[in-house]
A and B are shown apart, each in its own frame.
Chain A
Amino acid sequence: MNSHNDYDVYQAIADKVRGGRAIALATIVSAKGSVPRGVGAKMLVDPGEELVGTVGGGCGEGEVIEAAYEVIKTGEPQMVRVDLTEDLLSLSPAVCGGTMEVFVEAISE
């Protein structure tokens, strides 16, 4: 888990866009049940570079990253619904039992 806070993500958006990178921002806009990060948690996806921030580590983050790549290609924002209610007692470290909606959008100058 990294410790990026919101402002770090905003700072990274500004830096990357000024640097001409094609990036996508994912934001948890609603959450029900037990989810690893709450509403407002953010992740910046810059293909080929390290992620900035997180929307939940192992819990559903793969789906969000996939959507981010697509959004960067198409420019069309997406709402990704992540369902983590299955496997409540699974032994995976990514044990979460809720659902969340993640707004994914491309950001450019």
Chain B
Amino acid sequence: MTDAKNAPLTPMEATAEVLDAQEARQPIALIVPVSAPPELVGKRVVVRQAKGGAKGLVGSFGDAGLDEAALALGTKRLGERRTSKEGVHELKSATGPTIQVYVEAHHPHPDLVIVGAGHIAQPMCSVGAAMGFRVIVVDDRPDFATRERFPEADQILKVDFRNPFADVPMHSTSHVVLVTRGHKYDYECLRHLLQTDVEPPYVGMIGSRRRVRAAFSQLQKEVWEKDGVDTEGTARDRLTRVRAPVGLDIGAETPIEIAVAVLAEIILQWRGGTGAPLMDQERILDRFFKDTEDK
């Protein structure tokens, strides 16, 4: 073996990288040559976020062109949330061989932050946890924010709704649902959320049309009509992405149905679906059987 930096990773070394990235809650992409010179087949390089933000390659195929192509491929794949049907890609290099690689991306399990520990929060926590979310439940009532009520939660935090996210880790995979016991608290929390440093990819707030409208109109008065608070329009811009009323329209009525409607909307946002019934999109009968009927 030559310089370690110039060599690809073994499957075991790559496995250690994947587990380490999971621990650190960082995204990681693995690139595995499946059709290539024998010394490369089954070896790996990985693309990870280096300290400071830029993505970098760990391991090397020993050819600058292949490494550059691998880094580009891994970086692109980390930007997508949907699992691709085609995992095999061609990597070309001006100075080395053209190889076929399999690529897979791992994203840290997203967080589900449920604000309000009431009757909708309970099924949302169980179902969300079963889906693989790391669930964080917050409330200002110690009697509700309990382990007994939320056995599947990763964290249960008692917070002050006047500054609800001070102790809640908020990052680029945090999905936040506001379901507190009162709309004034939902409103308070939304106001804070519009001003957090990192914009969560999903913010949903429960409420009727009237309540949501009231909350938005109050935000208008309190946030961007006051001088200097939202001069760049960031909060206003973020408000356009807030899901309120929250959830997909599946006619949900009971707490668990509402939880499912909200989680369905979160999957849609995370994976990039349409929310429309697949049968309406595919129209198998219309498309494939109409002609035969006419004949």
Contact = CB atoms under 8 A, between A and B. Distances in A.
B16 A39 contact: no
B217 interface: no
Contact of A7 (B11, B12, B19, B85): B19
B87 A28 contact: yes
Contacts, number: 62
Contacts of B86: 30, 39
How would you classify the secondary structure of chain B's contact residues: helix, strand, loop or mixed? mixed
B85 A105 contact: no
A29 B34 contact: yes
Interface in A26-65: 27-32, 38-40
A103 interface: yes
B11 A107 contact: yes
Nearest 9 CB-CB pairings of A with B:
A39-B87, A29-B102, A29-B87, A105-B42, A77-B42, A107-B11, A40-B104, A13-B15, A10-B18
Interface of A: 5-7, 10-11, 13-14, 17, 25, 27-32, 38-40, 77, 79, 101, 103, 105, 107-109
Interface of B: 11-12, 15-16, 18-19, 22, 32, 34-35, 41-42, 83-88, 102, 104, 106, 132
17 contacts: A6-B106, A10-B15, A10-B19, A10-B22, A13-B12, A14-B12, A29-B87, A29-B88, A30-B85, A30-B88, A32-B85, A38-B85, A39-B84, A39-B87, A40-B104, A105-B11, A105-B42
